[in-house]
Structure 1
Amino acid sequence: MTAPTHHLRRPLTRRLAVELTGTALLLATVVGSGIMAEHLAGGNVAIALLGNTLATGAMLVVLITAFGPMSGAHFNPVVSLVFALKGEITPLTAMAYTVAQIIGAVLGVWLAHAMFGLDIAQTSHKVRTGPAQWLSEGVATFGLILTILAVRQARADAVAVMVGLYITAAYWFTASTSFANPAVTLARSLSDTFAGIRPQDAPLFILAQIAGALAALAVCHWLLQPPAPESISS
Structure 2
Amino acid sequence: MSPLTSSELERLRPSGLVYLVGALRTRQDVYRWCQALRQWQPPRAPLRVHMEHNSLDEHAAAEILEAVGGTVQAVYLHHNEIRDMEPLGTFIEKHSETLQELHLSHNRLYTAETKALLLQIGCTRLSSDATETTSSCSWLRLEFNYIDVAELMRNLPPPIRQRIQLDDCGCTPGRCYCKRRRYLKRIHCKLLAMQRAIPPEDRPQRHQLQSEAAARQGRLQLDHEPREDSGTAI
TM interval, shorter chain, is under 0.3
Q: TM-score, normalised by structure 2?
A: 0.27
**Which has more strand, going by share of residues?**
2
Which has the greater radius of gyration? 2
Q: TM-score, normalised by structure 1?
A: 0.27
